Amino acid sequence: MKIAKLSILLFPLFTLMPQLSNAQQMRTMSFDASTSIMLQEFQTMLVTEDDIVKVELRMGRDEATPGVDRLEKGDVILMMNGNRIKDIEGLRELYDGLEKGSDIKIGVRRGEERFILSAIKGNLPEGASRMMMTFDSDSEDGEQPVIVPSLGILLTNSDGDVLISRVIPPMIAEDLKTLELEGYKIALFNNEKPESATGLKDKIEALAIGDSMSFTFEKDGEETSLNFTKKAPKGNFSINSDHN
């Protein structure tokens, strides 16, 4: 089976930086999307480990700021906006439910200390840096998974259907944010059944920004239809394949 590694270059993380220092060079690490989430406002990647949610990776400046005004690797996330955090899925649901400009308050445990950190959703900290994330995804038919940049989703072919195998939370299109699309097949695109993941991507990319799109998503016999206009992607994407 071919294992594809999805590499996501997150442009919004470095738009405030005209140049990177040696200490701020891009790093590459691998995460499972089901057990990890990036909080760009805190410049961190969080993972689930031993039934806790903790900071696995800290981006940005390496110099520590005195006090406890930022997350550090190893910090444990206890709460978000007054809600106890038990796992990544619960945290992601809370985070995705916040509108841009909303307050984010997280309860943190660092050693014996406990404190609250605050940020505004959508605001990047000064000195925000690049990050490349890789996610593993299987391809059933030998064709590597396909990314649709303008939608922020990963498509695969499955039993003659085009399946949304993964969404990319920081890059997901605004019109899709309220839907939990992982595992859904795309039954119709502009009133036609897609023949393949690559073919569907090509049709979407052929549309101009502002063109109308219609989708019918299906899972377990239930259909959801959505119409919206194509918008510019929030980042740049590439896929590198490893044969294992």
Residue 63 has pLDDT above 70, yes or no: no
Question: Which range of residues forms the domain containing residue 197?
Answer: 134-243
Structure tokens belonging to residue 33 = 């999307």
Among residues 152, 147, 186, which one has the least CA distance to residue 167?
Answer: 152
CATH number of the domain encompassing residue 93: 2.30.42.60
Q: Are residues 90 and 141 in the same domain?
A: no
Work out the angle at residue 236's Cα, subtended by the Cα atoms of residues 232 and 237, and round it to the nearest 5 degrees. 120
In a domain? residue 150 = yes
In a domain? residue 1 = no
| Average pLDDT, rounded, for the chain | 77
Q: Where in the chain does DSSP place strands (E)?
A: 2-9, 28-30, 36-39, 44-49, 52-58, 76-80, 83-84, 103-110, 113-120, 132-139, 146-148, 153-158, 161-167, 185-189, 212-219, 222-229, 236-243
Residue 235 has pLDDT above 60, yes or no: no
Query: Mean pLDDT, to the nearest integer, of 68-84?
Result: 90
What radius of gyration do the chain's Cα atoms show? 19
Q: Are residues 81 and 167 in the same domain?
A: no
Contact between 150 and 20 (Cβ < 8 Å): no
Q: Are residues 91 and 172 in the same domain?
A: no
Q: Are residues 112 and 141 in the same domain?
A: no
In a domain? residue 54 = yes
Q: Are residues 94 and 143 in the same domain?
A: no
In a domain? residue 21 = no
Query: Mean pLDDT, to the nearest integer, of 30-45?
Result: 76
What pLDDT does 126 receive?
A: 66
Structure tokens belonging to residue 160 = 């003659």
In a domain? residue 14 = no
Per-residue pLDDT band for 227 (boundaries 50, 70, 90) equals very high
In a domain? residue 7 = no
Q: Which span out of 90-99, 145-154, 199-208 was modeled with the highest average pLDDT? A: 199-208
Measured distance CA(115)–CA(105) in Å, rounded: 10
What pLDDT does 171 receive?
A: 75
Measured distance CA(46)–CA(152) in Å, rounded: 20
Q: Is residue 72 classed as helix, strand or coil in its secondary structure?
A: coil
Contact between 56 and 119 (Cβ < 8 Å): no
Q: Are residues 159 and 233 in the same domain?
A: yes
The residues, any chain, with a CB within 8 Å of residue 81's CB and separated by 6 or more, are 94, 98, 103, 104, 105, 106
Query: Mean pLDDT, to the nearest integer, of 209-213?
Result: 94
How much is the pTM?
0.51
What pLDDT does 52 receive?
A: 94
Q: State which of 91, 120, 149 marks the end of a domain.
A: 120
In total, how many domains does the chain have?
2
In a domain? residue 16 = no
